[in-house]
Structure 1
Amino acid sequence: MWLYSILILTICSQYVTAQFGTFPQDFGYVNIREGAHMFYWLFYTTADVENYTQRPLVVWLQGGPGGSSTGIGNFEILGPLDLTLQERNHTWVKNFNVIFLDNPVGTGFSYVEDPRFLTKTNDEIALDFVELMRGFYNRHPEFRGVELYIYGQSYGGKMAVDMALRMREAEQAGTIQSNLKGIAMGNAWIHPVDATLTWAPLLLAAGLIDQAGYNDIQTAAREAERLFNEGLYVESTAQWANTQQAVFRSTTSVDFYNILTKMHVPWNPDTRTAYEISRDMMIRNGPYFSNSSYTRQGEVNLYDLMNNEVKEALGIPSHVTWGSLSNAVFDTLREDFMKPVTEGIEKLLAQENPIIVTKYNGNLDLICDTPGQILWVDRLNWHGAEGYKNAPRNPIWEDNRLEGYYKSYGSFRFFWINDAGHSVPRDNPYGTRAFLRDMTSYG
């Protein structure tokens, strides 16, 4: 392992003059198009292998849209260090080479020279991703044949669908040398209307609202659906936010990311719109808001960490300020926000030699709740639909503990994970092992 670490540091030195922490890493910007600069942070695997290319390359995408993967995904969820700056027991770096990507461009350390360069659609985000990976492979040709997997949480799962379509298209055209093998959509914003319509039934079944609360929430959700069906997509997004406010009213601010806890909503609704509150809450998508001054005992403040020690170590331009959120990114995608990507999933499943398509969900999440996911999964139009419907639902046992269930047919899988909210890898790393092994053979 000592020689292996020296080898990695030597390779890194071709592009990196400093780093944050002791874990072998690489980082940098790819100029994906005029005025748009995307930042990635790669951690080489610490697995006991002769060469790091013997393990897959995993790209982690945060949600929002506009949530920073290099900050939230890295330090809060699955990177090598947690927010106490100690080694994380369940870091994915133990088994994989992991890229934390600040996307869409304008998120985290990624930046644009003018707001007009921000992306407006999921497909534009996907095209940027292909350019990012093309630049990455130019710097790291040793990864071109390595198995590539895209894991996206929340809105990151929605982005992963179109990214996979565009990557496969580029692979088949020979314009990129990569080896995409699968995507995973974790508590993902795949069909927003389905998700919003199932909030009230889930909360009622859990005993968190009464019939009056159910009626209030469901009335708001139906209006979001009506607006979407009429093609009023920006208005539907605003009504989605109003539906969240109905949930807060009826539940005394249940946590949208774990229904067993309460969410702190620090803004005065008299001075901020429902859309602004919902936008900022969803972008941060963590157990607390990383841009705030609040930290848990023993932890550093993520905003301060990223804008001081990390920024200096990674040589980030002085004009770039890291944030766990990007209001500009979210607002620019407001029209695309409520649009589903189920057709894209069907296209992936219909391809010759299809990649693995995994859906996993924590059972305590509300915002991307499991009942809403099941609705669109059951409506998928693909050749394996009947086979999946009739497939057995099997238990997930890890160390003699039931961590959930899974169901699979062909290249599609669904994992129900117990004792987990919106961020399954953080909440239940033992259940996470199941879908990692299923897709990659490691975990």
Structure 2
Amino acid sequence: MKSHLVNHRRLLLSISSFLLFTRWILCESSIEVLTNSTGSESHLVDSSGFPWASNSTPISLSYAGLITVRQTLAYQAKLFYWFFPCTTNPQAPLIIWLQGGPFSSSMSGLFLESGPLRIQTKPGVKLSPSTQNETIDDFILSTNPSTWNQHFNMVFLDQPVGTGFSFVDPPILVNDTGGKQSLPTLLKRSLDGCTDPSNCSVSSSNNTSEDPDYQHGYVKNQKAIAKDFLSFLDEFYQRYPSMKKVNLTISSESYGGKYVPTIATAITEHNQKFPNDCIPLKSLTIGNQWTDPYTQVATNIDQLVWFGLISTQQAKNASILLNESRSEILKKNWTSALSHRLDMFDLLSNYTGGVNWYDVRMKNVQFDQKPMNHFLRCNETKRILHVPTKYRFGQDDGMFEIFQDDIMQSTKDLFPQLFKTYKVLMYQGNMDLRDGVASNTAWLSSLDWDGRDGFETAPRKLWKSQTGELFGYATQFENLSRVILLGCGHLVPADNGCPSSSLEMMIRHHTQSNFI
């Protein structure tokens, strides 16, 4: 494997340790006004310091900052969040958004998808490669007319540690290597919009006492992700106790097909263990998800053939790598399976001329998140968001190396119990050839669960707007709804995707017993 992400030397430090326990206590009070909630004042965002567009009304209330989720003798691990109370109803459900990736910042969801903000550079401003020269006044902020925040309380959480503004303190930069990146690295970062390694580092830490589910402060597996999430949620509810009185939805996309079921399962176990301190989780929503690598990776090549992007001979060539990857999955050789998969992606990208298969309509144009990345790296922005200026927004390759064995493992066996416990929405944009309709059909069809026959024979209904526009198709059986949205790719709520129909989708999911 050519990629340094798989073949570079594995870190040798593996030490037994302890984790400061996560505490769960009942909220001390039933305070309804967020600005009077315990600890919230220190995270209040002064949005008057942002460069708002002249025709845009500034967002008057939001909270942002860092919450410590782990502490050892060597470091503190902190997660960054940005909380936007619902603009119309404070009792609306709380949606916690987790970006996929793995290790993509949820600020992408905030600025490019369902969040209330949009960002662009001012006319005439040319962004520098190093992000050393920009100031906050080089950008323009505006509001998103299709934001889910109109109807829901929303938290955008950078997780796991090492993603976005979430970091280990004290830090040690581990990926500031420079040089040209390999294609798999660029593929990994295509949704994060980070193509300059000198600007993607966050932090790591040498550590002499650490829970075995972590290494150098980073998560090693899904179990660690769930631990950190629960620790975050505990502190969040203490800061904003009124939010523990509203229903909770965990929402994500892409790698969220692994994050969400793992976290939801951990919450279920928590509620069973602590019935007097239940977390009010009611629903799960996942878009274009990556859940079961063995079945899903097998759909990529055929889709490219069907769309005319590769020839049958090229498909045969790529299938050699595909079969090797699937064979290694069966042997539980996770690193080797990932290596073959990335090699397959490398080959297919060369064959197609770099077509963006997250949204095939974009041809060979990739997602551009440079304005967001540069804006979030401005010291003025960090101060407003209560982030130490010494930390850079981005992602750290060190965490990818430590976590890479998780990527080719499946979480599909967690879903049967989740279907019984929560209302679940799975949705895909029909222009996503990576983790889209065919990919999710494959793993759902392979899932053995009590409702399998009922779901497969349930009617597929047309979903239209009030004016008759065809939004897509919906299939529902008991707690599970699956929705196919027309005219969007991997980033369903994005401006060039399905912003209005995805908003209606979320409203229907939360307010109607039947989607259609």
Q: Does TM, normalized by the shorter one, top 0.5?
A: yes
Q: Which has the larger radius of gyration?
A: 2
Q: Which residue is equivalent to 1:349?
A: 419
TM-superposed deviation, 1:118: 0.5
Instruction: Tell me, in whole angstroms, the C-alpha distance in 1 between the residues paired with 2:419 and 2:158.
Output: 27
Instruction: Tell me, in whole angstroms, the C-alpha distance in 2 between the residues paired with 1:81 and 1:17.
Output: 17
| 1:116 alignment partner, one of 213, 216, 220 | 216
| 1:131 alignment partner, one of 231, 256, 274 | 231
Amino acid at match of 2:263: M
Q: How many aligned positions are there?
A: 398
Q: Which residue is equivalent to 1:158?
A: 258
Q: 1:67–1:326: 8 Å Cα contact kept in structure 2?
A: no
TM-superposed deviation, 1:138: 1.1
1:96-126 Cα deviation digits (max 9, x unpaired)? 1100000011111111132622101112101
Instruction: Tell me, in whole angstroms, the C-alpha distance in 1 between the residues paired with 2:92 and 2:44.
Output: 25
Q: Which residue is equivalent to 1:42?
A: 83
Q: Which residue is equivalent to 1:287?
A: 367
- Structure 2, unpaired ranges of 5+: 1-32, 51-57, 121-140, 170-204, 206-214
1:412 aligns with 2:513: no
Instruction: Tell me, in whole angstroms, the C-alpha distance in 1 between the residues paired with 2:86 and 2:67.
Output: 22
Instruction: Tell me, in whole angstroms, the C-alpha distance in 2 between the residues paired with 1:421 and 1:383.
Output: 31
Amino acid at match of 1:319: K
Name the % identity.
Answer: 27
| 1:316 alignment partner, one of 383, 387, 391 | 387
Matches within 5 A, 1:360-371: 360-371=427-438
| 1:230 alignment partner, one of 315, 331, 345 | 331
1:143-162 Cα deviation digits (max 9, x unpaired)? 11200001111112320110
TM-superposed deviation, 1:74: 0.9
Q: Which residue is equivalent to 1:358?
A: 425
Amino acid at match of 1:19: D
TM-superposed deviation, 1:28: 2.2
TM-superposed deviation, 1:13: 5.8
Q: 1:257–1:365: 8 Å Cα contact kept in structure 2?
A: yes
Instruction: Tell me, in whole angstroms, the C-alpha distance in 1 between the residues paired with 2:83 and 2:328.
Output: 41
TM-superposed deviation, 1:179: 0.7
1:93 aligns with 2:161: no
| 2:374 alignment partner, one of 299, 304, 315 | 304
TM-superposed deviation, 1:92: 1.2
Identify if the C-alpha distance between structure 1 residues 222 and 76 changes in structure 2 by more than 3 Å, giving closer, same or farther: same
Partner secondary structure for residue 59 of structure 1: strand
Amino acid at match of 2:117: L
1:63 aligns with 2:63: no
Q: Which residue is equivalent to 1:30?
A: 67
Instruction: Tell me, in whole angstroms, the C-alpha distance in 2 between the residues paired with 1:260 and 1:216.
Output: 25
TM-superposed deviation, 1:253: 1.1
Instruction: Tell me, in whole angstroms, the C-alpha distance in 2 between the residues paired with 1:410 and 1:153.
Output: 22
1:78 aligns with 2:178: no
Partner secondary structure for residue 283 of structure 2: strand
Q: Which residue is equivalent to 1:4?
A: none
TM-superposed deviation, 1:9: 5.2
Instruction: Tell me, in whole angstroms, the C-alpha distance in 2 between the residues paired with 1:365 and 1:184.
Output: 17
1:378 aligns with 2:445: yes
Identify if the C-alpha distance between structure 1 residues 27 and 202 changes in structure 2 by more than 3 Å, giving closer, same or farther: same
Instruction: Tell me, in whole angstroms, the C-alpha distance in 1 between the residues paired with 2:410 and 2:427.
Output: 17
Q: 2:34–2:242: 8 Å Cα contact kept in structure 1?
A: no
Q: Which residue is equivalent to 1:433?
A: 503
Partner secondary structure for residue 182 of structure 1: strand
Instruction: Tell me, in whole angstroms, the C-alpha distance in 1 between the residues paired with 2:459 and 2:504.
Output: 16
TM-score (norm 2): 0.74
1:164-207 Cα deviation digits (max 9, x unpaired)? 11112112222744210111111111112322211111111112
Instruction: Tell me, in whole angstroms, the C-alpha distance in 2 between the residues paired with 1:338 and 1:374.
Output: 18
Matches within 5 A, 1:265-280: none
Q: 1:80–1:91: 8 Å Cα contact kept in structure 2?
A: yes
Instruction: Tell me, in whole angstroms, the C-alpha distance in 2 between the residues paired with 1:421 and 1:55.
Output: 28
Instruction: Tell me, in whole angstroms, the C-alpha distance in 2 between the residues paired with 1:327 and 1:435.
Output: 35
Amino acid at match of 1:322: F
Instruction: Tell me, in whole angstroms, the C-alpha distance in 2 between the residues paired with 1:234 and 1:247.
Output: 20
Partner secondary structure for residue 204 of structure 1: helix
Instruction: Tell me, in whole angstroms, the C-alpha distance in 1 between the residues paired with 2:40 and 2:288.
Output: 37
Q: Which residue is equivalent to 2:186?
A: none
TM-score (norm 1): 0.85
1:193-241 Cα deviation digits (max 9, x unpaired)? 3222111111111122211121122222111111111111011111111
Partner secondary structure for residue 321 of structure 1: coil
- Structure 1, unpaired ranges of 5+: 1-6, 265-285, 293-300
Identify if the C-alpha distance between structure 1 residues 441 and 17 changes in structure 2 by more than 3 Å, giving closer, same or farther: closer
Partner secondary structure for residue 272 of structure 2: helix
Q: 2:64–2:386: 8 Å Cα contact kept in structure 1?
A: no
Instruction: Tell me, in whole angstroms, the C-alpha distance in 1 between the residues paired with 2:152 and 2:507.
Output: 12
1:242-282 Cα deviation digits (max 9, x unpaired)? 11112112211110211122335xxxxxxxxxxxxxxxxxx
Q: 1:32–1:131: 8 Å Cα contact kept in structure 2?
A: yes
Q: 2:93–2:248: 8 Å Cα contact kept in structure 1?
A: yes
| 1:403 alignment partner, one of 461, 471, 481 | 471
Instruction: Tell me, in whole angstroms, the C-alpha distance in 1 between the residues paired with 2:391 and 2:342.
Output: 29
Identify if the C-alpha distance between structure 1 residues 182 and 397 changes in structure 2 by more than 3 Å, giving closer, same or farther: same
Amino acid at match of 1:208: L
